[in-house]
């Protein structure tokens, strides 16, 4: 059964999208984080370029219908496994050496 409840469409699948987009934009996440750490209170002004690059990358994924379908398929697979086993599987995060 692949019908989606409201919470799945509006909360759970978008959460997978956010997590995956952050992984896919990790170079921009790291650049923005590094800039903020180096500039402190002036980050609003000094890190504008890094912030824009990060937002553009994330929004590009959030607004991509194919990316949504990939994340939906991933969610449905997780849901199917959970229903079959009763064990909730955590998404494996990509680890970075920061």
Residue 94 lies in a domain: no
pLDDT at 12 over 60: yes
Residue 63 lies in a domain: yes
Residue 73 lies in a domain: yes
Residue 23 lies in a domain: yes
Q: What is the CA radius of gyration of the chain?
A: 17
By residue range, what is the domain housing residue 23? 6-82
Looking at every residue in the chain, the average pLDDT score rounds to 89
Q: Of 16-20, 25-29, 37-41, 70-74, which gets the smallest average pLDDT?
A: 37-41
Answer whether 24's CB lies under 8 Å from 56's CB: no
DSSP 47: T
| Residue 88's pLDDT band (cuts 50, 70, 90) | confident
pLDDT at 2: 63
Tell whether pTM > 0.85. no
* Tokens representing residue 66 in the block: 């194919």
* CA distances in angstroms from 51 to 28, 47, 59, listed in the order given: 8, 6, 12
pLDDT at 90 over 80: no
Count of domains for the chain: 1
């Amino acid at each position: 059964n692949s019908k989606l409840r409201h919470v799945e469409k509006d909360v759970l699948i978008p959460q997978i999208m956010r997590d995956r987009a952050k992984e896919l934009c990790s170079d921009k996440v790291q650049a923005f984080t590094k800039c903020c750490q180096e500039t402190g209170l002036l980050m609003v002004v000094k890190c504008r370029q890094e912030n824009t690059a990060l937002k553009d990358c994330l929004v590009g994924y959030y607004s991509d219908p194919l990316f949504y379908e990939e994340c939906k398929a991933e969610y449905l697979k997780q849901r199917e496994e959970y229903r079959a086993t009763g064990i909730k599987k955590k998404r494996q995060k990509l680890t970075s050496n920061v």
